[in-house]
Every structure is written in C-alpha cells, then in structure tokens.
C-alpha cells in the first residue's frame, strides 16, 4: 500500500537558520512528502517533488491559493501542513476549499509577533515547547489541538567530543545566533569582556552586526566574527568550541526563544552551554546539562561563564550527560515519527 502524501507548504524553503524544516521532510518515513514554497533559499534540501508558487502570490491571494491547490490535486495529498504561520491562512483556505485536513507548525515570531489567526481553525497546531503552546492557547487555539513536539536534530551530523582542559588554559567561548535583540548578542559581548582566560568567537549575522562591532571596539574585546549564514558555519564552530553562550531574552516586539535549537546542537557535540531562563529554553535545558541565568542579567552571565571556564575537569561528564539528553529527547528520527503519527491520525479521520 502506498504511503499517504503530505503537502508541505512554506513561504520560505528554507532559510539557513531553519534547516529543521527540511529535516522533517528528509526523515519522514511513514508519509511521502511534496513541497510548495514561495522563495527557495540556497540550502541543501531533500530531493522530493517541489513546486515554486511564489509567482502566484504576486498576483494576489486567489492565484496563490489556486497554485497550492493545484499541487495538492496533482499529487492527491490528503493532508496539508504549513511550516510556520506566515502562509497558514492560505493553507487554511485551500484545505477548506478541497475538504482536506490541515496542520501548522508554529515556531515563535510567526505567533508571538505577527500573530496567526488561522491557527485557531487548524486541525492540529504543532509547537516546539509548552511555552509556545500556552501562547497558542491564549490566542484561541483549542487545547486539544495543540501538540508539543520539539524540533529534532540529525545526530549523525553532530559529532560528539568530550571536552578536556584546553591547552594553554585558554577556553574557546562562542556566541551563536542571529544578531538580533532576542538572541542577546550585545549582552554576550558585555559579559565576555569581563571573563579572563578565554578566546571569543561570534557566529551569526543580522541587523545588530554594526552595533556588535562597535561595542566590541568600545570594550576592547578581541573577538573573531564568523558569518553564520555560510554553509555549515555553525556546526564547524561548535566542533571547535568549549563553551556556548546564548543569553536570549524577550524582545521589545514580544518575540522570544521558544526552544533554542542551537543549545541542543551544542549539547549533542559535547559543548558546555551557558544560556538564559527565557521562553521555552528551560524546558529543553535542564540544570544537570546546562547553566541557566536570568535573562538580561549581564553580571550573572559573566559569573556563570567564568565558573564554567574555571572548572574544565567537569566538562567531560557534563558533555556526556548533555549528549544523552539530546539522544533521548531531540533525535529528529523520533520527533518526525511522532509528528507523522499525528498526521496519519488526521488522514484516517478525514476532515477534522
């Protein structure tokens, strides 16, 4: 019997920081994937039938929805899934028109900042943390349609290495993330400037890069800046890192960290993680595998990094515990299978 098809719809397919979307398609085993997208980014993606429909959006909502519906009819996909909420209203309209069930994955900005009114009509709303699930509930999504399924990572791409006391006593400390307010990159710079015995690296890109460079100069902090949009830049950086620093916080626009996947990737590689108690991060980072500090507290962040750097004899054991934690909770194969179970249930039930 052929596997049911799922039409994956995304406005962007896929941004460099959103590789987890392509991973869902790559690791789908119980369903067959078809993709409809608006803009295709130069990121390696699975070889599945893919259709660019962005041209139709320029003509209006009706042509775009007709283009998505045409893909659904062509491949006889009994379920539509919207990755992110940005095109959820289009997917909802197509599902209603074609009598198919549909689901949406929300990840943060799409709900917390832009809002996603269509989500209240979805047959299934997938979120990466209880934190975002509560936000979806407050927005009107029925609780029985909310499923917390953390984003997974491909463990085969993250080589584990036990961290040992660094040669010469100089630890490599890395900030990794977009240079935006939510990620706390400027707080990271201020905190690291007061920590002795470290080599600093910032891996990312974004609108705060000019501010970051200016601040590094004012602080006289000698730090390497790496373009995080370059292919494989993050994974390579983590392999050469002893300690990852991610002081995320709620932005002025309400955007917040709903999982913090870079922390998960760091744990998988054996890296020590110092992060913040912000958004959904504490759900993913228990205290036995990561050091958490209050969001926006630069002094606490500085003290935490200094304490981790000063105790390299603990790195190996914490690293092993971190890898085991990721294997239990964030293996992309298991997380995708969990998502597919819910899709198959919807397909078997027909229109919700």
Mean pLDDT of 336-342: 98
Domain identity same for 180 and 314: yes
Quickly state the pLDDT bin for 351 (edges 50, 70, 90).
low
Residues 145, 200, single domain; the answer is: no
Helix H or strand E encompassing 245: strand 243-246
Q: What is the pLDDT of the chain when averaged over all its residues?
A: 96
CB 256 within 8 A of CB 279: yes
Do 175 and 31 belong to one domain?
no
Domain count, the chain: 2
Mean pLDDT within 118-141? 98
CATH number reported for the structural domain that contains residue 345 in this entry: 3.40.50.2000
| Residue 156 structure tokens | 């085969």
Virtual CA dihedral for 271, 46, 38, 76, nearest 10 degrees?
Answer: -130
d(CA 124, CA 101) in angstroms, rounded, equals 9
Helix or strand or coil: residue 200? strand
Question: Do residues 344 and 207 share a domain?
Answer: no
- Residue 82's DSSP bridge partners are 9, 104
pLDDT at 352 > cutoff 70:
no
Same domain for 248 and 261 = yes
- Domain of residue 228: give its range: 155-329
What is the arithmetic mean of pLDDT over 291-302? 98
Residue 224 pLDDT: 96
Please give the backbone phi and psi of residue 76, each rounded to the nearest 5 degrees, phi first.
Answer: 50, 50
pTM, 2 dp: 0.95
| Sign for the pseudo-dihedral over CA of 266, 269, 271, 277 | positive
103 bridge partner residues: 81, 124
Do 98 and 32 belong together in one domain? yes
Q: Is 162 in the same domain as 106?
A: no
CA distance 116 to 109: 10
Q: 320: exposed, middle or buried (C-beta count within 10 Å: 0-12, 13-18, 19+)?
A: middle
User: Same structural domain for residues 325 and 183?
Assistant: yes
Same domain, 163 and 301: yes
Mean pLDDT (whole number) for 13-35: 94
Summarize pLDDT for 211-269 with one digit per residue, the tens: 999 999 999 999 999 999 887 899 999 999 999 999 999 999 999 999 999 999 999 99
Pair (42, 188) in one structural domain: no
Q: Are residues 302 and 200 in the same domain?
A: yes
163 shares its domain with 221: yes
């Amino acid at each position: 019997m052929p596997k049911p098809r799922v039409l994956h719809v995304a406005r962007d397919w896929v941004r460099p920081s959103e590789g987890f979307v392509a991973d869902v398609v790559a690791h789908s085993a119980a369903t067959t994937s078809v993709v409809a997208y608006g803009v295709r980014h130069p990121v390696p993606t699975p070889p599945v039938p893919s259709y660019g429909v962005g041209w139709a959006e320029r003509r209006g909502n009706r042509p775009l929805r007709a283009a998505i519906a045409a893909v659904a009819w062509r491949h006889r996909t009994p379920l539509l899934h919207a990755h992110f909420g940005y095109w959820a209203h289009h997917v909802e309209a197509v599902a209603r028109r074609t009598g198919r069930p549909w689901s949406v994955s929300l990840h943060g900005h799409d709900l917390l900042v832009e809002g996603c009114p269509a989500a209240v009509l979805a047959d299934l709303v997938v979120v990466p943390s209880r934190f975002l699930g509560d936000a979806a509930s407050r927005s009107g999504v029925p609780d029985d349609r909310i499923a917390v399924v953390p984003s997974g990572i491909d463990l085969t791409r993250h080589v584990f290495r036990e961290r040992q006391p660094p040669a010469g006593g100089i630890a490599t400390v890395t900030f990794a993330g977009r240079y935006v307010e939510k990620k706390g990159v400027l707080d990271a710079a201020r905190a690291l400037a007061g920590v002795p015995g470290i080599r600093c690296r910032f891996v990312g890109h974004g609108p705060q890069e000019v501010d970051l460079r200016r601040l590094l100069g004012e602080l006289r902090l000698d730090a390497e800046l790496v373009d995080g949009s370059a292919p494989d830049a993050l994974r390579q950086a983590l392999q050469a890192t002893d300690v990852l620093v991610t002081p995320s916080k709620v932005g002025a626009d309400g955007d917040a960290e709903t999982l913090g996947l870079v922390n998960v990737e760091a744990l998988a590689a054996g890296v020590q993680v110092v992060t913040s108690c912000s958004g959904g991060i504490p759900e993913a980072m228990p205290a036995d595998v990561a050091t958490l500090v209050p969001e926006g507290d630069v002094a606490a962040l500085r003290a935490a990094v200094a304490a981790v750097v000063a105790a390299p004899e603990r790195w190996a054991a914490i690293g092993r515990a971190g890898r085991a934690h990721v294997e239990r909770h964030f293996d992309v194969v298991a997380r995708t299978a969990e998502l597919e179970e819910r899709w198959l249930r919807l397909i078997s039930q027909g229109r919700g």
